[in-house]
Amino acid sequence: QVQLVESGGDLVRPGGSLRLSCAASGFIFSDSYMSWVRQAPGKGLEWVSSISSGGTIINYADSVKGRFTIARDNSKKSLYLQMNSLRADDTAVYYCVTEGNPPQFYFDNWGQGTLVTVSS
Amino acid sequence: DIQMTQSPSTLSASVGDRVTITCRASQTLSTWLAWYQQKPGKTPKLLIYDASSLKSGVPLRFSGSGYGTEFTLTISSLQPDDFATYYCQQYNGYSRTFGQGTKVEIK
Q: Rounded mean pLDDT of B84-88?
A: 98
Q: Which of A57, A95, A105 sits opposite B96 (nearest CB)?
A: A105
Q: How crowded is the C-beta side of A119, counted as CA atoms within 13 Å?
A: 7
pLDDT band, residue B96 (cuts 50/70/90): very high
The model's pLDDT over A76-107, given as tens digits with 9 standing for 90+, comes to 999 999 999 999 999 999 999 999 988 889 99
Cis previous bond, B80, omega within 30 = no
- Average pLDDT, integer, range A9-16: 98
Average pLDDT on A58-79 reads: 97
Backbone angles phi, psi at B16, to 5 degrees: 95, -15
Shortest CA distance from A93: residue in chain B:
B43
> Is the Cβ pair B95, A59 closer than 8 Å?
yes
> Which residues touch A23 (CB under 8 Å, ≥6 apart)?
A3, A4, A5, A7, A77, A78
Chain A residues in contact with B91 by the CB 8 A cut-off are: 103-106
pLDDT value for A24? 98
Q: Give residue A22's pLDDT band: very low, low, confident or very high (50, 70, 90).
A: very high
Query: Which residue has better confidence, B42 or B106?
Result: B42
**DSSP letters of A17-80?**
-EEEEEEEESS-GGG--EEEEEE-TTS-EEEEEEE-TTS--EEE-TTTTTTEEEEEETTTTEEE
Mean per-residue pLDDT, A105-114: 97
Is the pLDDT score of B107 beyond 90?
Answer: no
Q: What b-and-e string marks burial along A100-117, b requiring 16 or more CB atoms within 10 Å of the CB?
A: beeebbbbbbbbebbebb
User: CA of A49, closest CA in chain B: separation in Å?
Assistant: 9
Closest residue by Cα to residue B91 from B53, B37, B52, B50? B50
The per-residue pLDDT for B1 is 87
CB A113 within 8 A of CB B38: no
- Cα–Cα distance, A38 to A90 (Å, whole number): 9
CA atoms within 13 A on the CB side of B2: 25
Q: Evaluate the omega torsion of the peptide bond into residue B44 and state whether it is cis, within 30 degrees of 0.
A: no
Spatial distance between the Cα atoms of B55 and B32, rounded to a whole number of angstroms: 15
What is the average pLDDT across A31-46?
Answer: 97
Nearest to A47 among B32, B97, B101 (CB): B97
Distance CA B65, CA A24 (A): 33
Cα B47 to Cα B77: distance, rounded to the nearest angstrom: 16
- The pLDDT-based confidence of B93 (bands split at 50, 70, 90) is confident
What is the pLDDT at residue A101?
Answer: 87
In chain A the first and final C-alpha atoms are separated, in Å, by 40
For residues B14 and B78, the answer to whether their CB atoms sit within 8 Å is yes
